[in-house]
Structure 1
């Protein structure tokens, strides 16, 4: 079973509320599911709902607060995750209880979770969507074991990678109950062009890392004409820099760029498979996954 094989199901969906990568890649998945006659119920934050609605994804939206990661921005993601571990474990339990209630309330036949460990049900098949079947080697065996334990509670695992062209490297090594579903990007059906010399910077990731990257792009590329895509402006903007927060407008700018400056999150790497653009990719300091993908 893959997204393109699902028809006329009553689907409950959620994606991780961490930066913008998970919601970005979910746009293409949800469009494919909607186009096959499935009825969609999307559990999401208010910000995620606004993004999905901008892409005209027809669904029953169930707005939740989501899990708010708390980061210091010191570049030590191992310590950052440890600081969130106790709250995160409690959230997973609460998330599953909430999911069970939603399955009953909306007569759900299938649950799809883009890397939300607690978004599953014991009543109906529940599928975990990820590119990161294994954590980066430097994450350590304890984190790896916990990740596998939570992931293996699902009925099936969809790996968002290509079996032959392994964009995620060892992170997407197959495991029991897993299957590859290919690359997903909101640009896969969009017309792509190129304006010579056009540079577009994309600010993403959890705070305060996104603010740090905002200032880095301005420092390194702010002397030239620059389109900067960011959920908000963190400082006074030079006259030659335009900041855009609207997703659909941002997509148009990205699609016509010659060069993209971005973090090298996995969703961005999938986008580049379709965009075929020059890219300056900068990993988030201490983020082991991005550092692995950068050096791969």
Structure 2
């Protein structure tokens, strides 16, 4: 009988779900049966991508961000008791899913409660070091306490330099007891040389209210631009909605194929410096301008890490203007990272 693998990405923006798409595609290619588990937009996205796969809902973290950068950390800390309760509920739900769906193996992308002591469980993360300012040591310690409950940890990055995650997964003083392996960059996209249609493409994602705050700011600034702009709001909804106003085409979301085409036919991508977005743009070898989520240490670090390598510039959300985009000309864009066509088959031998 075909082994049944549960794939469960965190619903914290749609990045975790997006980078699970190549994992699911490889599992299907290798003739595994796949069951999807998540919540909210992440679950809806994967249901749209894989309408023929079984899926089930997990408890929702419902994490929100503060409108103020200064209050970001405090706002997140206040939600920790709720997050801990959800992790416990998530674990309980997972044990029932294993029974109901006859699960043989688990791949959890940052869902800390989706594991089992009786079947092989893999954790996917690019963060062995969890940046949180002066409390980085503490956030990393607790994160790795959860990772050690899994049989194996997959890191979606390149083991050697150049790499995309920097100190988040390389040269870290944090000791991880679970066996780890670098699996290369993960992206659902393929580069193609097609005629460019848009001068600028905006790709939004992430929890509220910061997603909306950035959308409002960018729309004001890009209304000053005379060149064609594609504005993808990152709102996963039942139906696709498109609006055109002057030079800006706004669409609520795109599924993988449409997004791949749109990215390939755009000159410049403006987006958050989320790790999945960085992997996608690296795979497509695009020019980019990053605007990290205010107060989110990981995104702020990644934006600086990419800028230091002279790949792409960034600026803080509150000071962004259309004129900031002129900086892009001084950067190389993403080039020639060793992405592979498919994930290695031997990676999944743990489930056989």
Length-normalised TM-score, structure 1: 0.89
Local SS of the residue matching 1:200: strand
Aligned with residue 281 of structure 1, among 283, 290, 304: 290
Counterpart of 1:229 (choices 228, 232, 237) is 232
1:89-168 matches, within 5 Å, as 89-136=84-131, 138=133, 139-164=135-160, 165-168=162-165
Aligned residue for 2:324?
none
SS of equivalent to 1:98: helix
Measured after TM superposition, the shift of residue 15 of structure 1 is 0.5
Tell me the number of residue pairs that the alignment of Structure 1 and Structure 2 aligns.
287
Structure of larger gyration radius? 2
Candidates 269, 272, 276, aligned match of 1:263: 272
- What is the alpha-carbon distance in structure 2 between the residues aligned to residue 197 and residue 46 of structure 1? 30
Q: Corresponding residue for 1:15?
A: 9
| Equivalent residues of 1:43, 1:62 under 8 A apart | yes
Kindly tell me: are residues 89 and 60 of structure 1, through their superposed partners in 2, closer, same or farther at Cα, counting changes over 3 Å?
A: same
1:271 partner SS: helix
Report how far residue 237 of structure 1 moved: 7.6
Q: Taking structure 1 as reference, are residues 67 and 266 closer, same or farther at Cα in structure 2, changes over 3 Å only?
A: same
Paired position in structure 2 for 1:179: 181
What are the residue-to-residue correspondences of 1:197-208 with 2, within 5 Å? 198-208=199-209
Segments ≥4 residues shifted beyond 4 Å: none
Choose which of 224, 240, 252 in structure 1 pairs with 2:247.
240
1:182, CA displacement in angstroms?
Answer: 0.8
Residues 1:272 and 2:287 are matched in the alignment: no
Gaps of 5+ in 1: 1-6
Aligned-residue CA RMSD in angstroms? 2.3
Is 1:86 equivalent to 2:89 in the alignment?
no
Alpha-carbon offset, residue 262 of structure 1: 0.5
Report what 1:52 is aligned to.
46
* CA–CA distance in structure 2, aligned partners of residues 129 and 192 of structure 1: 31
**CA deviation map 1:247-290 (0-9, x unaligned):** 23333212211100111110011001111111111111110001
Distance 1:179 1:89, change over 3 A: same
TM-score (norm 2): 0.76
The 8 Å contact of residues 9 and 42 in structure 2, kept in 1 or not, is answered as: no
User: 1:118 offset after TM fit, Å?
Assistant: 0.6
